[in-house]
């Protein structure tokens, strides 16, 4: 029989088991009042030995406390699990594996270092657990790592802001000083690209090892000080940066003329740098950091943070809250919102891999079913009122809004401006973070290193103490441009002339002093050296610059940089002047070209022939013997040149042709007269050769300046190189041109315009410039490629050319050009060509041809009975010719309406014979033929002329008789 006590004990155990099971079930379903919250484990990996790690640790604790304080009853409980990576990549990886394997966390915040995060990201991708890290290295890509969410701005996002500051001060070269680690090297390509977009070169990259000692740092700084560039961009961690600036102060590189820009990490963590370092060695440095708008919430949180920090780390010196602490708070806040959004749709747990052999430790971790849902909610989230401002994550990346530019003064920093990707550099921002609409888009006044208010120009002559070595050409002749003299005893070099004076004035216009010395470079035939060899001395670093009559050419610009030109440009030719044509007996033929003379003569004959054809049948002036008719053809049209023709014309066709022809003659005679007058009255300098191609055809010699690039130009123009002759002085130019090609000289001198103007100013009556003018860039000063001197010297060249100095120096070396008439471009009277009158001749030909064609058609129509006969073609042509030669019968028309001339002649006849009124009846019976003066063998008097006044009795009687008839 069973013992009652045993039975009671068994029953009690069963009851306790049932109660425990029900309690556990309610806990899982969230039905228990006391432990109803679902717990989600979150891992936190930080370098708790660093100040940044401690700052983020306090922010995370406060973020979780704020979440739980504001969470509703039964909300999800977030359980943090902190791990210390101890500044070690292996420790960080071990901490991550421990959190995933033993705790099975559903998300990990951290690690904070980029090298640590790189390995943890791979673990997160495999286990499908989101990794939210404040690592800033651009090499960590959110696109290549789907479970990586960056909770801070990448260091590459500040590169455009840095480039904007560099462009704001027109710095053309910079030096990048960065740490030899993944943190340091990650920004370099992005920063270089941003600077190249504003045409700024990275002249040097200085790489410092994180373990570099002070001697190594100082040695590198001395190396930088020997270079020209004085703008340094520093991308170092605070500890290494502090040592760098201490040594820079020791090397004298924190003085006036230097510019230092520090990146966001150092600027944001400036409070971690010792105050003594800031006050002694970092004054005047510019810094870039993310802009954190001030707010009441931020002020209240800062007080809470300081209080909690003192509680957690009572033995530490006070540390200020920084942007990484704010990003950590906003990241955890965003994570809590994402967890709350996912809710209890799935129980947080890991799905273990299938049991099989050869599983690695990572495979054994399994995958999170909760992590994928959490990632979708976390990748695109926005906190409108985040402590760091608008905290917005898009596609796993924290988005950039505004950077603040600060100037380190005293123990801290002073804001001098802002930068946004949309608006660039701005002086102020509105309270709502919108850009202020202001015309002043510059930074505020900045105190530069050395307590200077003058903006550093960004470069200096190296501190080696050497002067700027300036090469100058030594040649004979043309000393007005440049003349180099060397003292035989002291070897002192004296350079004079137009170009050295311009260079000296340009140097004086620079905002700084540049010591220089001239180094002669011989250019003559024995050495076979030319201007190209002089320019190449710069690329070989023998010279720092070249000053002389050096033309800017594309081939030379491959090796050096030229300043803006300080002289006019162009290449032309000078030839000798012809004798004065006014002494020529045949100058009256020169106003018109031969083809125009021939065309005009042909049209005279053509118009005369057309008029004869139109008037031959109806006008007795165009009838008679053949020689008379041929003479009339020539006489009639040629007479229109000097006076109106005396012959009357009766055909309307003829009148139409003559109207057009007289207008053409008027234009021709006016043009001829004007051109001939110009040739006879204006003293003209006619060139002996008007086209350089004539020199090539005639095989004449061509001269050029010794050592000049013009020789290559002549070869390009297809000149025979055997026909080249080089000269050095203006006197040699004149002698060669005066002798000509046949006597050992040349037919033309081809050179640049400045030399030719000087030559013509001296020999203005003997030679003349002929075109065309070939383009060239003019003279310029040459410097090494990428030299920061080029833009400053170019600006100084403009200042010199715009001032009165240029006129004075031209007057000094070249004299007054107004004393000699300017010849190039002078309008020389030349013969008129047919092209100028093609339109007139076309109109004349069409009008005359049309009148002749209409006349022929009408004539053939009137004689169509001849064409209708059965005669042969020759017989028809002969009949047509006879009909044309026959005078047209106009008697009917004359009898019907006597002409005014006939009436006047009749009246005259009666007056002279004292005819009485009795014989008038007999007179009226006479035939019309005897009333015409032609029948009397006399030609009609001029039209309108009469011997009897109108209104006399005789006139009235004749008129009455005419009316009766």
Determine the Cα–Cα distance for residues 370 and 719; give it in Å rounded to an integer.
Answer: 85
Whether 269 and 240 have beta carbons less than 8 Å apart is answered as no
Give the three-state DSSP class for 190. Answer: helix
What does DSSP assign to residue 578?
Answer: P
**Closest among 157, 200, 197 to 176, alpha carbons compared:** 200
CA atoms within a 13 Å half-sphere pointing along the CA-CB vector of 380: 2
pLDDT at 417: 93
DSSP-assigned beta bridge partners for residue 469 = 517
Determine the Cα–Cα distance for residues 245 and 781; give it in Å rounded to an integer.
Answer: 38
**Closest among 538, 582, 583, 541 to 563, alpha carbons compared:** 538
Phi first, then psi: give them for residue 289, nearest 5 degrees. -155, 155
Query: How many angstroms separate the Cα of 767 from the Cα of each of 264, 757, 762?
Result: 70, 11, 10
pLDDT at 32: 43
Ordered DSSP codes for 106-142: SEEE--SSHHHHHHHHHHHHHHT--EEE----TTS-T
pLDDT at 62: 95
Determine the Cα–Cα distance for residues 896 and 900; give it in Å rounded to an integer.
Answer: 13
Give the three-state DSSP class for 832. Answer: strand
**Closest among 93, 106, 240, 251 to 179, alpha carbons compared:** 240
Whether 369 and 351 have beta carbons less than 8 Å apart is answered as yes
Q: What are the tokens at 755?
A: 């030399």
pLDDT at 34: 41
Determine the Cα–Cα distance for residues 268 and 107; give it in Å rounded to an integer.
Answer: 27
What does DSSP assign to residue 572?
Answer: E
H-type helices in 364-457, by residue range? Answer: 369-378
DSSP-assigned beta bridge partners for residue 107 = 42
Determine the Cα–Cα distance for residues 920 and 735; give it in Å rounded to an integer.
Answer: 96
pLDDT at 956: 42
Whether 124 and 368 have beta carbons less than 8 Å apart is answered as no
Whether 407 and 416 have beta carbons less than 8 Å apart is answered as yes
Question: How far is residue 744 CA from its own chain's centroid?
Answer: 49
Q: What are the tokens at 579?
A: 């004798």
What does DSSP assign to residue 495?
Answer: E
Strands (E), 226-347: 231-235, 259-262, 286-290
Determine the Cα–Cα distance for residues 108 and 78; give it in Å rounded to an integer.
Answer: 12
Please list, residue by residue across 366-403, b when 16 or more beta carbons sit within 10 angstroms of its beta carbon and e when fewer do.
bbbebbbbbbebbbebebeebbbbebbbeebbbebbbb
pTM exceeding 0.85:
no
Rg of the chain's alpha carbons, rounded to an integer? Answer: 53
**Closest among 963, 853, 855, 959 to 900, alpha carbons compared:** 959
Whether 287 and 406 have beta carbons less than 8 Å apart is answered as yes
CA atoms within a 13 Å half-sphere pointing along the CA-CB vector of 202: 20
407's enclosing H/E stretch is: strand 402-409
Taking the chain (965 residues) in consecutive chunks of 10 residues, what is each chunk's mean pLDDT?
58 58 45 58 93 94 92 83 92 92 90 90 91 91 91 92 93 92 89 92 92 93 89 94 94 93 93 90 95 91 94 89 94 91 70 58 74 86 86 90 92 92 84 46 88 88 70 87 88 91 91 86 75 91 92 91 89 78 66 83 82 77 73 71 66 81 83 78 64 82 88 86 89 90 90 88 82 84 88 90 86 69 50 80 86 84 79 82 70 43 41 39 38 38 39 42 41
pLDDT at 441: 61
- Crossing angle of helices 51-70 and 323-342, rounded to 10°: 40
> How buried is 889 (Cβ within 10 angstroms: 0-12 exposed, 13-18 middle, 19+ buried)?
exposed
Whether 236 and 242 have beta carbons less than 8 Å apart is answered as no
**Closest among 338, 436, 421 to 157, alpha carbons compared:** 421
Q: What are the tokens at 244?
A: 């760098």
Q: What are the tokens at 769?
A: 């410039």
Whether 191 and 177 have beta carbons less than 8 Å apart is answered as no
Determine the Cα–Cα distance for residues 499 and 797; give it in Å rounded to an integer.
Answer: 12
Whether 188 and 178 have beta carbons less than 8 Å apart is answered as yes
CA dihedral 890, 894, 900, 906 (to 10 degrees): 120
Question: How far is residue 146 CA from its own chain's centroid?
Answer: 43
Determine the Cα–Cα distance for residues 757 and 570; give it in Å rounded to an integer.
Answer: 11
- Give the list of residues 6+ apart from residue 222 with CB closer than 8 angstroms, or none: 251
DSSP-assigned beta bridge partners for residue 783 = 561
For residue 855, is it left (φ>0), alpha (ψ between -120 and 50) or beta?
alpha
Determine the Cα–Cα distance for residues 637 and 665; give it in Å rounded to an integer.
Answer: 10
Q: What are the tokens at 515?
A: 């010591």
For residue 491, is it left (φ>0), alpha (ψ between -120 and 50) or beta?
left
SS3 content of the chain, % helix, strand, coil (to 5): 45, 15, 35
Question: How far is residue 386 CA from its own chain's centroid?
Answer: 45
945's enclosing H/E stretch is: none
Determine the Cα–Cα distance for residues 366 and 101; give it in Å rounded to an integer.
Answer: 8
Q: Tokens 């605070």, residue?
A: 238
CB atoms within 10 A of CB 248: 26
Q: What are the tokens at 56?
A: 């983020």
Give the three-state DSSP class for 469. Answer: strand
Q: Are strands 77-84 and 767-774 parallel, antiparallel or unpaired?
A: unpaired
């Amino acid at each position: 029989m069973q013992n009652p006590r045993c039975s009671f004990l068994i029953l009690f155990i069963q009851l306790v088991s049932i109660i425990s099971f029900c309690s556990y079930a309610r806990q899982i379903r969230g039905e228990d009042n006391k432990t109803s919250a679902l717990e989600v484990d979150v891992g936190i990996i930080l370098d708790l030995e660093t100040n940044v790690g401690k700052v983020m640790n306090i922010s995370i604790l406060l973020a979780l406390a704020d979440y739980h304080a504001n969470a509703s009853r039964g909300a999800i409980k977030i359980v943090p699990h902190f791990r210390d990576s101890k500044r070690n990549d292996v420790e960080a990886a071990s901490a991550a594996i421990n959190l995933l394997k033993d705790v099975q966390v559903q998300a990990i915040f951290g690690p904070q270092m980029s090298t640590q995060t790189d390995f943890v990201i791979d673990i997160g991708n495999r286990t499908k657990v989101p990794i939210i890290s404040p690592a800033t290295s651009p090499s960590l890509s959110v696109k290549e790592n789907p479970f990586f969410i960056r909770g801070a701005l990448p260091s590459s996002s500040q590169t455009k802001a840095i480039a904007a500051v560099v462009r704001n001060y027109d710095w053309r070269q910079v030096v990048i000083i960065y740490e030899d680690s993944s943190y340091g090297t990650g920004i370099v390509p992005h920063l270089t690209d941003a600077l190249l977009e504003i045409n700024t070169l990275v002249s040097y990259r200085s790489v410092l090892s994180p373990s570099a000692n002070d001697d190594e740092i100082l040695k590198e700084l001395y190396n930088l000080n020997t270079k020209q560039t004085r703008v340094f961009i520093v991308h170092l961690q605070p500890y290494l940066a502090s040592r760098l600036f201490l040594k820079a102060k020791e090397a004298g590189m924190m003085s006036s003329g230097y510019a230092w820009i520090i990146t966001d990490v150092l600027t944001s963590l400036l409070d971690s740098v010792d105050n003594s370092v800031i006050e002694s060695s970092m004054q005047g440095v510019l810094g870039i950091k993310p802009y954190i708008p001030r707010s009441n919430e931020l002020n209240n949180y800062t007080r809470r943070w300081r209080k909690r920090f003192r509680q957690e780390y009572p033995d530490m010196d006070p540390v200020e809250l920084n942007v990484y602490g704010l990003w950590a708070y906003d990241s955890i806040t965003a994570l809590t919102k994402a967890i709350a959004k996912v809710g209890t749709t799935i129980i947080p747990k890991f799905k273990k891999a299938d049991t099989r052999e050869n599983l690695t430790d990572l495979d054994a971790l399994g995958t999170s079913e909760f992590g994928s849902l959490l990632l979708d909610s976390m990748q695109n989230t926005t906190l409108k009122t985040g402590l760091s401002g608008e905290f917005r994550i898009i596609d796993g990346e924290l988005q950039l809004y505004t950077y603040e530019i600060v100037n380190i003064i005293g123990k801290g920093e002073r804001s001098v401006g802002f930068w946004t990707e949309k608006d660039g550099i701005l002086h102020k921002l509105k309270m709502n973070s919108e850009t202020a609409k202001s015309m002043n888009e510059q930074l505020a006044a900045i105190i530069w290193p050395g307590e200077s208010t003058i903006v550093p120009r960004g470069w200096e002559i190296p501190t080696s103490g050497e002067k700027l070595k300036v090469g100058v050409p030594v040649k004979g002749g043309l000393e007005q441009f440049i003349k180099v003299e060397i003292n035989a005893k002291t070897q002192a070099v004296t350079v004079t002339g137009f170009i050295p004076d311009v260079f000296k004035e340009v140097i004086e216009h620079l905002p700084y002093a540049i010591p220089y010395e001239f180094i002669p470079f011989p250019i003559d035939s024995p050495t076979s050296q030319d201007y190209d060899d002089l320019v190449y001395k710069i690329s070989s670093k023998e010279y720092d610059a070249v000053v002389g009559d050096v033309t800017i050419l594309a081939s030379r610009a491959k090796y050096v940089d030229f300043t803006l030109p300080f002289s006019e440009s162009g290449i032309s030719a000078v030839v000798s002047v012809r004798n004065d044509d006014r002494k020529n007996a045949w100058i009256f033929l020169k106003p018109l070209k031969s083809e125009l003379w021939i065309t005009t003569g042909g049209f005279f004959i053509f118009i005369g022939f057309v008029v004869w054809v139109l008037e031959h049948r109806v006008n007795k002036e165009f009838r008679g013997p053949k020689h008379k008719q041929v003479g009339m053809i020539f006489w009639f049209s040629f007479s229109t040149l000097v006076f109106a023709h005396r012959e009357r014309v009766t055909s309307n066709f003829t009148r139409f042709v003559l109207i057009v022809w007289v207008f053409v003659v008027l234009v021709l005679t006016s043009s001829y007269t004007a051109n001939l007058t110009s040739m006879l009255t204006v003293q003209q300098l006619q060139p002996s050769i008007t086209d350089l191609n004539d020199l090539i055809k005639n095989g004449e010699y061509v001269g050029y300046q010794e050592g000049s690039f013009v020789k290559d130009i002549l070869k390009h123009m297809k000149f025979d190189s055997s026909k080249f002759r080089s000269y050095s002085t203006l006197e040699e130019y004149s002698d060669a041109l005066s002798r000509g090609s046949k006597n050992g000289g040349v037919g033309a001198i081809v050179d640049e315009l400045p030399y030719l103007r000087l030559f013509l100013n001296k020999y203005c009556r003997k030679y003349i410039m002929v075109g065309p003018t070939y383009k060239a860039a003019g003279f310029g000063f040459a410097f090494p490629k990428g030299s920061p001197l080029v833009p400053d010297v170019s600006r100084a060249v403009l200042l010199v050319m715009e001032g009165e100095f240029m006129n004075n120096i031209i007057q000094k070396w070249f004299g007054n050009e107004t004393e000699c008439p300017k010849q190039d471009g002078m309008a020389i009277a030349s013969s008129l060509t047919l092209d100028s009158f093609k339109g007139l001749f076309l109109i004349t030909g069409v009008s005359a041809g049309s009148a002749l064609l209409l006349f022929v058609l009408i004539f053939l129509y009137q004689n169509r009975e001849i064409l209708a006969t059965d005669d042969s073609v020759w017989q028809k042509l002969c009949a047509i010719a006879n009909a044309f030669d026959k005078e047209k019968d106009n008697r009917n028309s004359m009898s019907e309406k006597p002409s005014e001339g006939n009436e006047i002649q009749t009246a005259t006849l009666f007056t002279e014979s004292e005819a009485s009124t009795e014989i008038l009846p007999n007179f009226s019976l006479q035939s019309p033929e005897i009333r015409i003066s032609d029948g009397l063998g006399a030609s009609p008097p001029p039209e309108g002329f009469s011997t009897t006044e109108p209104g006399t009795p005789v006139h009235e009687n004749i008129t009455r008789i005419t009316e009766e008839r």
